[in-house]
Amino acid sequence: MLPHLGAATSALYILWISMAQVAGQDDREKTTALKDLLSRIDLDELMKKDEPPFIFPKTLEEFEYAFNEHGQLRHIKTGEPFVFNAREDLHRWNQKRYEALGEIITEYVYELLEKDCNLTKEMLPVDATEDEPTSFIYLSPDALSNPSKLLVLIQGSGVVRAGQWARRLIINQDLDSGTQIPFIKRAMKEGYGVMVLNPNLNYLEVEKPTKSSPSHSPAEVSDEPAEKRERKEEQEGKKKKEFYEKYRNPQKEAETERIPIRDNGSSEDHVLYVWDYFVSKAAAKNVFIMAHSYGGLSFVELINQRELQVKNKVCAVALTDSSHNIWLQETSKGTQDWMFQAQRGTS
């Protein structure tokens, strides 16, 4: 009986191995199919499903927000602070909404600089033609004529524009925390001329013209019979349409291109340009520089380019959370020593 039992056991063992191999093969096929499916799904597109159009208000009033007497952004009806997640599970839409609000706030701060601080806008380049992109800075009435003191404000990198330190602080805290306005008002009260730089306005963004699909030349046509090729293309097109229909992006964002502003295509270029055409020509005997974050790097680059001029005209420098690097920027030992003394002068 033992031989029969052994034979049965062997048969069961062989059957078990065969089943395991079949199961393993099925698993591999399923895994391969799953990978193929995932490779065809654009997760970014999946997240855009049922996304509302990127159409947002153009004014604070339309957003139903306003700055109160404390400079805090509050909802007109509820009095609550700004809420980023206006719609759950729609992060991209919420981010676009936040950016739209940020653009409105940029214009709002420009208005404050002109009306509350009595600053004037100076276009750049100074010899710009009518059909080229331009940037601008803000000057106090005596920025160029004040014989004693001039304060130059240089912001960090990013979306912030003239008069802003941080958009996030403006939206989530208040205007005094996120803008340069308190510094401007105090400086003017104490007899300083003021220049407000705009180092992040470096280009004009325009929409690219729509490109028409190129037609295929006869040489590019497949050798397959026309009827078979058309049927094949129709089937493939139907499959793609069915597959992507559920996950497609209902709104295709327009493609844009950036046209750089002459001599102001970067923060470093902007600071150098403003120095050459404004700061160096100002009457002030004492120039004070306040630079934040990337603005500090741009100022150090200015020293590298105009070392003697800067050392002769700038008497004190305040760098806040600066991202400069005197070694990577190849700053001379003499300049390093001068910066140490100039920063001590602001303490």
Active site residues: 293
User: Torsions phi, psi of 74, nearest 5?
Assistant: -135, 150
**Virtual torsion, Cα 60, 61, 64, 67, nearest 10 deg:** 60
Q: What tokens appear for 39 in the block? A: 């490779």
CB 328: neighbour CB atoms within 10 A? 9
CB 324: neighbour CB atoms within 10 A? 20
Distances from the Cα of 313 to the Cα of 4, 21, 199, 329, 342, angstroms: 106, 82, 21, 21, 11
Q: Round to whole Å and give the CA distance between 219 and 227.
A: 18
Q: What tokens appear for 298 in the block? A: 């741009």
Nearest to 141, CA basis, from 187, 205, 81, 86: 187
Q: HEC states along 209-272?
A: CCCCCCCCCHHHCCCCCHHHHHHHHHHHHHHHHHHHHCCCCCCCCCCEEEEECCCCCCHHHHHH
Contact call for residues 210 and 204 (beta carbons, < 8 A): no
CB 264: neighbour CB atoms within 10 A? 25
Q: What tokens appear for 21 in the block? A: 């191999």
